[in-house]
Amino acid sequence: MDNPSPMNLGLKGKRAIVMAASRGLGYACARALAAEGCDLVICSRDASRIRAAADTITRETNARVHPVAADVSGEGEARALVAAAVEQFGGLDIVLHNAGGPPAGDTASTTEAQWQKAFEQNMLSFVRIVNAAVPELKRAGGGRILTIASSSIKQPIPNLVLSNALRAGIWGFAKTLSRELGPDRILVNVIAPGRIQTERIEELDHATAVRAGQPLDHVKRASVAGVPLGRIGQPDEFANLIVFLASEAASYITGQAITVDGGAGNAL
């Protein structure tokens, strides 16, 4: 073995796409990768919001951040994101797939149109960015494909049937992909948040409070009651794992689904 040395993340100058990044987890991950020296293409649907996110990240980190207004569900959008990375930065090393979460609901209340939309937004968007990005990742001699899923891949969550069903499929696809792309040194991992403080969580808590006829602070307290760390997580705590998995330091980790949930999941 070589002598021990400080962990080298090796992210300076790496070229990354971060999807659905104007707020929440995508934004926090983009900011954290930028702070490590990555060049970024980031997207979300609203042009002014994604430009504002890019400007803030550049101001804070000096990173090169190229905003693209794109709906991740669209067919041509994945190709456009990869083309932007090639045009702006000369290639691509890292893809962080992310999308807005599907609506809450149980099986009886969920329409076929909602199934179709959630499939396109959460699962097909992943297939599309993978198909668009893999040739460039191969050209770069390897890379990272990461996707933000949910702790529902290990423990389904009541009243989130769309997330429970589709994210299990995403995990199956990611595992398959990790075996297909390992020989090309493209590492594929799923990161599964439990409860991380974002606007989506605020919206879900409000919906629960209205549905149950309970005060919002009661809903919030109940939601962390089963978390051993006793609190909701912060986006930066989630982003730290993304940075590590995107880095050179994580060079022997692929085909994994890793939960960031403060210990809430109770499965082995």
Contact 145, 181 (CB under 8 A): yes
Check residue 120 and report its DSSP letter. I
Residue 145: strand pairing partners:
95, 188
* Residue closest to 169 by CA, chosen among 113, 201, 127: 127
Can residue 143 be called a binding residue for ligand NAD (CB under 6 A)? no
Kindly tell me which of 112 and 199 has the beta carbon lying closer to ligand NAD: 199
Residue 68 contacts ligand NAD per CB under 6 A:
no
Match 């994945």 to its residue by tokens: 78
Question: Where does this chain touch ligand NAD (CB under 6 A) — which range of 4-12, 60-68, 85-93, 196-204?
Answer: 196-204
Give 248's DSSP letter: G
Q: Pick from 68, 81, 145, 150: which binds ligand NAD (CB under 6 A)?
A: 150
> Cα separation of 22 and 48, whole Å?
10
> Residue 180 in contact with residue 172, Cβ under 8 Å?
no
220 belongs to the binding site for ligand NAD (CB under 6 A): no
Give me the least distance between CB of 220 and ligand NAD, in Å please: 13
Smallest separation (angstroms) from ligand NAD to the CB of 8: 29
Is residue 258 within 8 A of residue 191, CB to CB? The reply is yes
257 binds ligand NAD (CB under 6 A): no
**Counting contacts by CB under 6 A, is residue 98 touching ligand NAD?**
yes
195 binds ligand NAD (CB under 6 A): yes
Query: Please, what is the minimum distance in Å from the beta carbon of residue 257 to ligand NAD?
Result: 13
Among 67, 101, 143, 262, binds ligand NAD (CB under 6 A): 101
Q: Which of 14, 16, 18, 24 binds ligand NAD (CB under 6 A)?
A: 24
How many other CB atoms are there within 10 angstroms of residue 37's CB atom? 16
Contact between 99 and ligand NAD (CB under 6 A)? yes
Q: How far is the CB of 6 from ligand NAD (least distance, A)?
A: 31
**Contact at 8 Å (CB) between 160 and 107?**
no
| Interatomic CA distance for residues 23 and 50, integer angstroms | 9
Measured CA to CA, the distance from residue 36 to residue 241 in angstroms comes to 13
Residues at the site binding ligand NAD, with contacts judged by CB under 6 A: 20-26, 43-45, 71-73, 98-101, 121, 148, 150, 193, 195-196, 198-201
